[in-house]
Chain A
Amino acid sequence: MSAVLQTRNLMKRFGGFVATNDVSLSVEQGARHALIGPNGAGKTTLINLLTGALKPTSGRVILQGEDITDLPPHQRVRRGLARTFQVNQLFPEFTPLEAVVLAINEREQLGASAWKPLVRYPQVVDEAAALLERFGLSDVMGERTSRLPYGKQRLLEMALAFAAKPRVLLLDEPAAGVPEEERHEVLAIVRALPSDVTVVLIEHDMDLVFSFADRISVLVSGALFTEGTVAEIAADPRVKAIYLGEDA
């Protein structure tokens, strides 16, 4: 077991407000690591620091032994760190096929090729088709993304991240806002992610967290409150108090 993603004393201040407070996190290779915490605990800020959307005030982010703290987001993606967004960040005018082809192109460093049409890259097309199938999108691959049902959009969110062939996939509330009847499909696909991909899951839904994760970190007020296996966290009365105190 080795850590694939680590943070060292990560701090983020917005003015006087400390959004991330001295977080040193270690995610093991192949883990299903959940990040939980009440609203405003700094989960999304932490994700933004990991992916490079925000620069930390101090501290380091380390991916597979390499310090990536100063790299812009697209370079981190190329090094194997991909994310999904809590609120869909898709290309509304694209079809799922175009979006996935885009992601594969960029991973394969084809994005600067400006002459051959998309269809002339058969490996990309085949991989895109397989990916769309894996994420349950092959029957809607030609629709405009903005017209897809919400559940399908969530799946596309994941397919886009997955297309980068990430070593570490950060899932920010993958099932958030998905209507009940589409929910099982989304969850099934989350569970079926291959085991060599390390998954960091940010989630409110405790059922999903406890059934999916093997390790849980609890964030409170920007700081790492506790960390442990699912059983340990489930049995921890302080975690229960925080959750019930804040949420219920």
Chain B
Amino acid sequence: MTVIGETTAAVSSTGPEHVAATQLRRRNAWRAYEIVLWLVAIALIFMLPSKALLLTEIAILALFAVSLDLVLGYAGIVSLGHGAFFGLGAYVAGLFAMHFFPEPVTGLLVAGLVSGLLGFVTSFLVLRGSDLTRLMTTLGIALMLAELANQMAWLTGGADGLSGFTVGPILGLFEFDLWGRTGYIYSLVVLFLATWAARRIVNSPFGLSLKAVQGNRVRAAMVGVPAKSRIVVIYTIAAVYAGFAGALLTQTTSFVSPDVLAFHRSADVLLVLVLGGVGYLYGGIIGAIIFTLLRDWFSVITPQYWMFWIGLVLVIIVMVGRENITRWHTFLPAPIQRALARAANWRPGPKIGGGQ
């Protein structure tokens, strides 16, 4: 009874290392719902060519929300100023195309880099204080940047926005077309690559340590996790992502309006995550789909009052509780729930449940 490791007998003859490796492999295997999501996104290029502009909008908002999820869901920082990085990326992409080089992929990378730099610098401010302080700090940074863009009219076009630049063909090969089809494919490719990279990041030792800091900061420190430096890194990465999203908006619309730095961007993207759920990356994408479709739908039925309906949805979400809404499936009959979960989370490899 007292021999350590006696429990191994209960595990199959393959040995615990094998079980451990299999479990870790399954942990980051692609789920069925992920694959379905991407396949549908690709299929829509052909099935809904007339909606390419809307789809582009969704893809950009999704990328922006994935970025915020890295901050909120993986670093636990509630930000009301994530739009700062989005807006900066948008302006940098516009200015870069105007003054330096019109090729969009280069512009995208430069925009990401500049936003990332701002993210890195401001991350040290975000490390200080509690949630409320952070909320105000992030909000303050975003407001300052918006005012700066407004005042520096010689550079940014001020209230009129930045226009009069042309975005060249992607990699010199693919022209943007009037119907937004190239724009959608381009945005989708960027979204996919960014999500793929984010997936790797959150499933790496680094990602595990972020989840640990969120799960229990005291214990994370006691296993040797330097929480602050990890948060700086993820905040910087998230800023790069937001910069990408802003650049995509500029490049697909050939225009930068001061609206890219407006407060509602930061608020909207938070709302997207409230809708889609936090801490699993796809919440941003799913939330962006729901949010954009809702807005599109409301603005058709009540052009003047769509904000009211969005607001009402938000109030309902808060009243009912996000957990309950994202758990809507728990109200289904149990067998259907189980089947749904199994189908959505299906991934290759043998099922190994500990202790079963």
Contacts and interface: CB of A to CB of B under 8 A. Distances in A.
Given A92-B215, A119-B25, A129 B19 contact: yes
Contact of A77 (B2, B16, B215, B224): B224
23 contacts: A51-B222, A73-B222, A74-B226, A83-B222, A91-B219, A92-B215, A94-B211, A94-B212, A105-B209, A106-B224, A112-B230, A114-B205, A116-B200, A116-B205, A117-B28, A133-B5, A133-B8, A135-B4, A139-B355, A142-B354, A143-B353, A188-B1, A188-B2
Contact of A138 (B8, B25, B200): B8
Interface in B171-216: 200-201, 203-209, 211-212, 215-216
A118 B208 contact: yes
A53 B225 CA distance: 14
Contacts, number: 192
A72 B353 CA distance: 38
Interface of A: 51, 53, 72-74, 77-78, 82-83, 85, 89-95, 97-99, 101-103, 105-107, 110-119, 121-122, 125-126, 128-130, 132-143, 160-161, 163-164, 184-185, 188-189, 192
B224 A136 contact: no
Contacts of B209: 102, 105-106, 111
A129 B20 contact: yes
Contacts of A121: 205
B221 interface: yes
Contacts of A103: 223-224
Q: Which of B7, B201, B207, B233 has the most chain A CB within a 10 Å cutoff?
A: B7
A117 B203 contact: yes
Contacts of A128: 20
Interface of B: 1-8, 10-11, 15-17, 19-21, 23-25, 27-28, 200-201, 203-209, 211-212, 215-216, 218-227, 229-230, 233, 352-355
B21 A136 contact: no
A117 B24 contact: yes
B16 A141 contact: yes
A101 B3 CA distance: 24
A97 B20 contact: yes
B222 A89 contact: yes
Contacts of B15: 129
A163 to B, nearest CB: 7
A160 to B, nearest CB: 6
A230 B10 CA distance: 39
A139 B222 contact: no
Nearest to B197: A115
B4 A82 contact: no
Given A91-B219, A115-B204, A163-B223, A189 B16 contact: no
Contacts of A136: 4-7
Given A85-B219, A112-B233, A141 B354 contact: yes
Q: Which of A93, A125, A138, A164 has the most chain B CB within a 10 Å cutoff?
A: A138
B2 A164 contact: no
B4 A161 contact: no
A139 B208 contact: no
B11 A139 contact: yes
Contact of B224 (A107, A122, A141): A107
A103 B206 CA distance: 12
B4 A91 contact: no
Given A91-B216, A97-B20, A138-B11, A111 B230 contact: yes
